[in-house]
Amino acid sequence: MVTVSMKNKPLRQQLFIFFLAFNLLLLSLLWIFQTSFLGSTYEMIREKEVRKAIQLVGQHINSPDLPSLIQELEQSKNILVRSSKDFEIPYLLEDFFHVDLLPRTLKEDHQYTLKDGSHITLTFYAILSPVDATVSTLRFQLTLVSILMFILSTLAAIYLSKYIAQPISQLNQEAKNLARGQYKDHFKGQGYLEIKELSSTLNTTARDLSRLNQTRQELLANVSHDLRTPLALIYSQAELMHDFPEEITPDQTEVILREVRRLSNLVSDLLTQSNLESGKMQMTFTTYSLTESVEKILHQLQSLLKNKEFSFHFSYDENCLIQADESKINQVIYNLLVNAVDHSPNSTTIRILQEVKKDKVTLSISDQGPGIDAKDLPYIWDRYYQVDRDLSASLSSSGLGLAIVKNIVQAHQGQVTVSSTSKKGSTFTVELPLKQ
């Protein structure tokens, strides 16, 4: 026999079963208390009434209203009060209590002291067990109430299960569409607060996934473009060298070497960015001189740009020590300098300023390029976002340099900012904590 677990049932069906079972449990408890414990409950109540009657008579034992009180007890509570010396158990109780069968009774004597000092003993006599007619009436009413409650509870279970499960089921279907790549679907969660908050969260997730998918497509397109161009140049030069081996020139081999370096830089930047975003990049923190490191990088760049008329001006107040991953910070500085070179005309000076401010050091790199429009500033840190892809400098960009810069700086608990004025150049500023 195959059994189906509740966990595999739809939410609406589970809620319906839960609410219906809960209502049936309440009805079962009602039946148990109204049938099994009806007699004992009735006897307990009658005993309390007799105790209260004894106390009440004691309070009015010397009052002229005592006969009226005794009469009221007989009529309203069915409690017979008589003098003990004159008391006789009624031969036929139905003559007094109007019942058909002899029930269980309670008889209790109690002595009172009158105001003249004499004593009087009164007997209190009452029925303890409920009569059959009363029990039958209660059971009949309970049956009708149970049927009515079962119908109402079933309808309530259907409504509540639908009310609670419907918005969740709707969100589930929309989430399935999101999983299939339909990022433009709008989640319209209605009902209680948690559903609305979940809907808002899923809408945010859908927008983020849409942007991520668009970025992925742009990344693939840009990488394909950047790979195709150097490969085409390498292929064309190699084909010429193959067809005319006797006419190989240094310019042809230089083209191949330059494009291979370009491909190598692109692959290296892609791997670095991937490791940074996935958190797999290993950092080795050491204490070293940032000032000396900048000077070494400038010296290397100057040798690479020996055919260009660029110049670098580095100014600082003191030799600055930081605790960081030297190779990663060098990559940050190198990328920012290359970015400045790529966007600056020949015969210009790129200025680097190092400043120590309390427990932080800032390194600012300023170029004399065309600047960046205000509308482009928020996006320059995105992968493959380039304001101008027509770069004339010899150091070509992979389009990942600034994205790598931002991730490395943030991994060092620092921040990088940019300020730019159209046609007057840009200044990139890196802020890092000093060695404690």
In tens, the pLDDT along 103-143 reads 678 888 999 988 888 888 999 988 776 555 566 677 777 77
Range list of β-strands (E), 253-330: 286-289, 311-316, 321-324
Percent of the chain at pLDDT above 70? 77
Domain boundary among 273, 292, 309: 273
39 and 172 in one domain?
yes
Q: Specify which of 2-16, 229-243, 349-363 reaches the highest per-range mean pLDDT.
A: 349-363
* CA gap 307, 323 in Å, rounded: 35
- The pLDDT of residue 415 is 92
Average pLDDT over residues 59-80: 88
CA atoms within 13 A of residue 361's CA, in its CB half-sphere: 23
Residues 268 and 293 both lie in one domain:
no
| pLDDT at residue 7, as a whole number | 58
Query: How far is 243 from 239, CA to CA, in rounded Å?
Result: 6
Q: Which one of 156, 180, 204 terminates a domain?
A: 180
Checking if the pLDDT of 292 tops 90, the result is yes
Other C-beta atoms within 10 Å of 277: how many? 13
Residue 290 shares a structural domain with residue 267: no
Q: Are residues 145 and 51 in the same domain?
A: yes
**Statement to judge: residues 6 and 46 lie in one domain:** yes
pLDDT value of residue 267: 74
Question: Is 279 domain-assigned?
Answer: no
Q: Quick check: 187 and 206 in contact, CB under 8 A?
A: yes
156 and 10 in a common domain: yes
Q: What percent of the chain has pLDDT over 90?
A: 10
**Which residue type sits at 6?**
M
Closest residue by Cα to residue 55 from 106, 155, 154, 122: 122
244 and 288 in a single domain? The answer is: no
The boundaries of the domain holding residue 146 are 1-180
Residue 317 maps to a domain: yes
Looking at residue 130, what DSSP letter applies?
P
- Does residue 391 or residue 343 have the better pLDDT? 343
Which tens digits make up the pLDDT trace of 252-283? 787 788 778 777 767 776 776 666 666 666 77
Q: Is residue 399 situated within a structural domain? A: yes
What CATH number has the domain bearing residue 244? 1.10.287.130
The single-letter DSSP state of residue 63 is S
- The yes-or-no verdict on residue 92 having pLDDT over 70 is no
Residues 147 and 109 in one domain: yes
Tally of structural domains, the chain? 3
Q: pLDDT at position 75, please? A: 86
pLDDT at 375 over 60: yes
Q: Are residues 153 and 227 in the same domain?
A: no
- Between 76-80, 284-288, 378-382, 385-389, the lowest mean confidence (pLDDT) is in 385-389
Distance CA(42)–CA(251), nearest Å, equals 114
Do 50 and 5 fall within a single domain? yes
**Comparing 238 with 5, which gets the higher pLDDT?**
238
Q: Could you write out the three-class secondary structure of 359-399?
A: CEEEEEEECCCCCCCCCCHHHCCCCCCCCCCCCCCCCCCCC
How would residue 85 be classed by pLDDT, with cut points 50, 70 and 90? Answer: confident
CA-only gyration radius of the chain, Å: 47
Q: Is residue 331 within 8 Å of 272, Cβ to Cβ?
A: yes
| Domain match, 90 and 231 both | no
Q: What is the pLDDT of residue 46?
A: 84
Mean local confidence (pLDDT), 146-175: 76
Among residues 216, 249, 273, the one where a domain terminates is 273
- Return the amino acid letter for 396: S
169 and 242 part of one domain: no
- Rounded Cα distance, 2 and 343, in Å: 72
Cβ atoms of 119 and 113 within 8 Å: the answer is yes
Q: How many CB atoms lie within 10 A of CB 385?
A: 17
Q: What is the reported pLDDT for 363?
A: 94
Question: What CATH number is attached to the domain comprising 383?
Answer: 3.30.565.10
More confidently predicted of 54 and 422: 54
Of the candidates 144, 142, 46, 52, which has an alpha carbon nearest to the alpha carbon of residue 97? 46
User: Over the chain, what is the mean pLDDT?
Assistant: 77
Backbone angles phi, psi at 60, to 5 degrees: -115, 25
Burial 105-123 (b: 16+ CB within 10 A, else e): bbeeebeeeeeeeeeeebb
The pLDDT of residue 398 is above 60: no
| 266, part of any domain | yes
Structure tokens at 352: 């680097």
Evaluate whether residue 33 is within a structural domain.
yes
In this structure, of 26-40, 74-88, 140-154, the range with the lowest mean pLDDT score is: 26-40
Closest CA to 235 of 261, 256, 257, 264: 256
> DSSP H helical segments within 90-192, as ranges?
94-97, 132-179
pLDDT over 90 (residue 38): no
The whole-number pLDDT of residue 316 equals: 92
Is residue 385's pLDDT more than 80? no
- The better pLDDT of the pair 91, 152 is held by 152
Is beta strand 360-366 parallel, antiparallel or unpaired with respect to 349-357?
Answer: antiparallel
In a domain, residue 60? The reply is yes
- Quick one: pLDDT at residue 353? 94
On the question of pLDDT at 400 being above 90, the answer is no
**Residue in the block written with tokens 């009529």:** 75
Q: Is the pLDDT of residue 436 over 70?
A: no
The answer to whether residue 2 scores a pLDDT higher than 50 is: no
For residue 416, give both structure tokens.
């990088």
**And the tokens for 266?**
């692109």
Mean pLDDT, residues 159-175: 73
The backbone torsions φ and ψ at residue 293, rounded to the nearest 5 degrees and listed phi first, read: -65, -40
pLDDT-derived band at 16 (thresholds 50, 70, 90) equals: confident
Q: Is residue 358 part of a domain?
A: yes
Q: Are 96 and 80 in contact (CB under 8 A)?
A: yes
Residue 355, pLDDT > 80, answer yes
CA distance 281 to 279: 6
Is 187 among the domain residues? no
